[in-house]
């Protein structure tokens, strides 16, 4: 395996960022990209610019011949086989490369959705759970793009609640076939895919995955959906009417389909998050170009403070999003590298990825919501032209919306984040409970020392306090509700929001510190300004979420005492955010694109 990760050999547990402090050199950031990473990134970007973008108009009219051709060309360039072992036609590169390709290909939402469904959820179930024969039969075609993959979990009556599916599978009397009956819904690539991972219940009970080929008898896609966005992608129902599936096409174990269904979503989520950050970078570039040439009141609109503020916020988010995305995959690569001789054992690799399920969900939620913010502001910067089809903002605005719905809705992912952390805390896998207890004892007794010292001391204190606030509020809520906290969805989501922001803050700060350590001198750089603004904004959101949790979990004197602690933890030195945003805006406007220094 050609692993090119630059993170060191330390063991970092998923979710541990809440209770442990990392140093800049313990995380991977875009500044660590190797020449090989940059070469592949360039290949992906050139492919998007030269092959995808010129075809957008035709693709929007659902010319699936072109889409299939693009998937094949991406395969020829090696962009689709990164997660597939070499012996089955892939390249098995590191997860940084996987994320980077998703990031740089993201110039057109419909292609990203098509390619994402093909390379992730349509292919990885076979990579991780297939038998040798299944891998030999299906993976080379999927890697090269000669065949296209799809993943059919959702049904009209159950998608978030996927294990409740109605599709049934029955073994034939001679034991040679499973006969599947049912209907799947909203299946990406269904209009032209060749290989489908389909979930059904054997004997109406045992949730199981099957590999189904398009030409199996009894298998038929339904009509294309008319969608709000990603109109160039194919989304259809699937009809399984006594569909005969050879018994050897059962994927994984009978009754263990849930392991497959949920595991591959982790990769889908980190790639979707990285793709959203890439897409935001493209939007920023387009918005800057427009703002620099559009005139109003005798000036270009890029000279107006309110437009500069929008451009700065986009750039700040991209800085933070990149930091989170590549920190995530860097951690995975380090953990995969520690598998040593077992790096080609795909079962072990997928377990490593599962370790970081919380971080994958964080990136998915944060990335999709950040992109929604960016496209909305892009439309605003384009003004009236933002609202008409001839200009790119209108389509991009529509295309981005689905990211909050698929790969698990953001509501479900928020519940996953808090639920997963609580599960790990209860099982002792992550010593969260002891950290919470220690913190509660200290802060309520007023003995906690909040000082940090050294470089970036104020910023580090902010991040450290953000973690304390998240743990404090989570601790008070879990004391009140115990196990029943799972039923308090608003509290679970507020805890998830604090967790997401904490991870975003720390990732941004570690990146800025790393840049300062290695190559970035002056304190006026974009990285430092972006980090300061994000940290202050995020701390306000965290404080607000903590208040919501505390007020739901406590009252009277207890609540007053807790709010006093919260006020103390949320105090910070107020930097001039307008001036900091101006620094960021000035640099990106001058450069015409996202820059970090």
Ligand X SMILES: Cc1cc2nc3c(=O)[nH]c(=O)nc-3n(C[C@H](O)[C@H](O)[C@H](O)COP(=O)(O)OP(=O)(O)OC[C@H]3O[C@@H](n4cnc5c(N)ncnc54)[C@H](O)[C@@H]3O)c2cc1C
Choose, by CB under 6 A, the member of 6, 12, 74, 117 that binds ligand X: 117
Instruction: Report residue 236: phi and psi, to 5°.
Output: -135, 160
* Least distance CB 162 / ligand X (angstroms): 7
The residue range among 47-55, 322-330, 400-408, 433-441 that interacts with ligand X, by the rule CB under 6 A, is: 400-408
Judged by beta carbon, residue 335 or residue 415, the one nearer ligand X is 415
According to the binding rule CB under 6 A, does residue 165 interact with ligand X?
no
Helix (H, G, I), strand (E, B) or coil at 471: helix
Per the annotation, the verdict on 407 as an active-site residue is yes
Judged by beta carbon, residue 214 or residue 438, the one nearer ligand X is 214
According to the binding rule CB under 6 A, does residue 412 interact with ligand X?
yes
Residue positions counted in the chain: 597
Judged by beta carbon, residue 188 or residue 527, the one nearer ligand X is 188
Judged by beta carbon, residue 86 or residue 411, the one nearer ligand X is 411
The residue range among 148-156, 204-212, 357-365, 443-451 that interacts with ligand X, by the rule CB under 6 A, is: 148-156
Q: What interhelical angle do 95-105 and 257-293 show, nearest 10?
A: 50
The residue range among 29-37, 123-131, 186-194, 462-470 that interacts with ligand X, by the rule CB under 6 A, is: 186-194
- Cβ–Cβ under 8 Å, residues 176 and 146: no
* Least distance CB 14 / ligand X (angstroms): 22
For strand 219-221 and strand 168-171, is the pairing parallel, antiparallel, or unpaired?
A: unpaired
The residue range among 46-54, 182-190, 290-298, 564-572 that interacts with ligand X, by the rule CB under 6 A, is: 182-190
Choose, by CB under 6 A, the member of 60, 303, 411, 442 that binds ligand X: 411
* Least distance CB 55 / ligand X (angstroms): 20
Choose, by CB under 6 A, the member of 187, 195, 352, 495 that binds ligand X: 187
Task: Compute the Cα dihedral for 128, 133, 136, 137 and give only its sign.
Answer: negative
* Least distance CB 372 / ligand X (angstroms): 14
Dihedral, 377, 378, 382, 388 alpha carbons, nearest 10: -110
According to the binding rule CB under 6 A, does residue 153 interact with ligand X?
yes
- Joined together, the tokens standing for residue 377 give 């502001």
317-336: contacts with ligand X (CB under 6 A): none
- Joined together, the tokens standing for residue 242 give 């006594």
476 Cβ neighbours under 8 A, 6+ residues apart: 440, 549, 550, 553, 554, 562
Closest CA to 372 of 393, 403, 417: 403
Judged by beta carbon, residue 496 or residue 539, the one nearer ligand X is 496
- Joined together, the tokens standing for residue 139 give 């993976």
* Least distance CB 570 / ligand X (angstroms): 28
Angstrom distance (rounded) from CA 337 to CA 537: 36
According to the binding rule CB under 6 A, does residue 409 interact with ligand X?
yes
The residue range among 53-61, 83-91, 302-310, 404-412 that interacts with ligand X, by the rule CB under 6 A, is: 404-412
Residues facing residue 158 across a β-bridge = 155
* Least distance CB 489 / ligand X (angstroms): 6
Q: Annotated catalytic residue: which of 45, 407, 488, 543?
A: 407
According to the binding rule CB under 6 A, does residue 235 interact with ligand X?
yes
Work out the angle at residue 587's Cα, subtended by the Cα atoms of residues 584 and 591, and round it to the nearest 5 degrees: 140
Burial of 66 (0-12, 13-18, 19+ CB in 10 A): middle
According to the binding rule CB under 6 A, does residue 234 interact with ligand X?
no
Give the CB-side neighbour count of residue 271, counting CA atoms within 13 A: 30
Closest CA to 32 of 457, 359, 454, 331: 331
* Least distance CB 49 / ligand X (angstroms): 25
Task: Compute the Cα dihedral for 377, 314, 310, 288 and give only its sign.
Answer: negative
* Least distance CB 407 / ligand X (angstroms): 7
Work out the angle at residue 335's Cα, subtended by the Cα atoms of residues 334 and 337, and round it to the nearest 5 degrees: 65
Q: Which residue has the tokens 């024969």?
A: 133
Dihedral, 154, 155, 160, 163 alpha carbons, nearest 10: -90
Choose, by CB under 6 A, the member of 77, 254, 405, 444 that binds ligand X: 405
According to the binding rule CB under 6 A, does residue 239 interact with ligand X?
no
Q: Which helix (H) or strand (E) holds 489?
A: helix 489-518
- Cβ–Cβ under 8 Å, residues 502 and 466: yes
Choose, by CB under 6 A, the member of 186, 219, 326, 534 that binds ligand X: 186
* Least distance CB 341 / ligand X (angstroms): 35
- Joined together, the tokens standing for residue 348 give 């072990």
The residue range among 136-144, 153-161, 449-457, 576-584 that interacts with ligand X, by the rule CB under 6 A, is: 153-161
According to the binding rule CB under 6 A, does residue 494 interact with ligand X?
no
According to the binding rule CB under 6 A, does residue 160 interact with ligand X?
yes
The residue range among 96-104, 155-163, 265-273, 281-289 that interacts with ligand X, by the rule CB under 6 A, is: 155-163
Choose, by CB under 6 A, the member of 151, 219, 270, 370 that binds ligand X: 151
Active site residues: 407
List interacting residues with ligand X (CB under 6 A): 117, 151-154, 159-161, 186-188, 227, 230, 235, 402, 405-406, 409, 411-412, 489
């Amino acid at each position: 395996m050609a692993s090119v990760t630059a993170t060191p050999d330390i063991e970092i547990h998923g979710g541990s960022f809440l209770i442990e402090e990392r140093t800049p050199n313990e995380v991977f950031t875009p500044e660590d990209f190797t020449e090989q990473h940059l070469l592949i990134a360039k290949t992906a970007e050139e492919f998007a610019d030269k092959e995808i973008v010129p075809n957008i108009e035709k693709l929007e009219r659902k010319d699936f011949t072109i889409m299939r051709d693009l998937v094949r060309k991406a395969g020829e360039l090696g962009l689709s086989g990164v997660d597939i072992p070499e012996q089955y036609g892939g390249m098995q590169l590191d997860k940084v490369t996987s994320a980077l390709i998703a990031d740089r290909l993201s110039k057109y939402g419909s292609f990203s959705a098509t390619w994402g469904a093909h390379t992730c959820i349509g292919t990885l179930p076979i990579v991780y759970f297939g038998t040798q024969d299944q891998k030999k039969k299906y993976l080379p075609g999927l890697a090269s793009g000669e065949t296209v993959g799809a993943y059919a979990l959702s049904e009209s009556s159950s998608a978030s609640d996927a294990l409740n599916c109605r599709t049934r599978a029955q073994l034939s009397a001679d034991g040679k076939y499973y006969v599947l009956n049912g209907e799947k819904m909203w299946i990406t690539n269904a209009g032209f895919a060749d290989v489908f991972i389909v979930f059904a219940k054997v004997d109406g009970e045992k949730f199981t995955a099957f590999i189904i080929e398009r030409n199996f008898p009894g298998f038929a896609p339904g009509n294309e959906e008319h969608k709000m966005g990603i109109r160039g992608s194919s989304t259809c129902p699937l009809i399984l009417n006594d569909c005969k599936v050879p018994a050897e096409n059962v994927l994984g174990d009978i009754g263990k389909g849930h392991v497959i269904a949920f595991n591959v979503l982790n990769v889908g989520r980190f790639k979707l998050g990285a793709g959203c950050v890439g897409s935001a970078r493209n939007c920023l570039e387009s918005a800057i170009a427009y703002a620099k040439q559009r005139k109003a009141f005798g000036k270009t609109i890029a000279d107006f403070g309110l437009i500069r503020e929008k451009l700065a916020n986009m750039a700040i988010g991209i800085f933070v999003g990149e930091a989170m995305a590549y920190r995530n995959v860097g951690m995975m690569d380090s953990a995969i590298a520690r598998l040593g001789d077992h790096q080609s054992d795909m079962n072990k690799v997928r377990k490593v990825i599962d370790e970081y399920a919380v971080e994958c969900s964080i990136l998915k939620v944060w990335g999709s919501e950040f992109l929604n913010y960016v496209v909305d502001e892009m439309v605003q910067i384009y003004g009236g032209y933002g609202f008409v089809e001839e200009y790119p903002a209108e389509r991009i605005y529509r295309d981005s919306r689905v990211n909050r719905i698929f790969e698990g809705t953001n509501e479900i992912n928020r519940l996953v984040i808090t639920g997963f952390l609580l599960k790990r805390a209860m099982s002792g896998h992550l010593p969260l409970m002891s950290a919470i207890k220690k913190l509660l004892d200290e802060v309520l007794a007023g003995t906690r020392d909040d000082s940090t010292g050294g470089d970036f001391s104020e910023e580090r204190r902010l991040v450290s306090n953000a973690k304390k606030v998240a743990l404090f509020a989570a601790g008070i809520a879990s004391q009140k509700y115990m196990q029943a906290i799972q039923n308090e969805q608003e509290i679970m989501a507020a805890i998830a929001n604090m967790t997401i922001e904490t991870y975003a803050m720390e990732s941004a700060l570690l990146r800025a510190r790393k840049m300062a350590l290695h190559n970035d001198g002056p304190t006026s750089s974009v990285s430092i300004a972006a980090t300061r603004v994000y940290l202050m904004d995020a701390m306000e959101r965290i404080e607000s979420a903590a208040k919501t949790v505390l007020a739901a979990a406590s009252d009277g004197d207890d609540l007053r005492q807790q709010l006093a602690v919260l006020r103390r933890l949320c105090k910070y030195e107020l930097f001039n955010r307008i001036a900091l945003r101006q620094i960021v805006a000035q640099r990106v406007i001058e450069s015409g694109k996202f820059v970090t220094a």
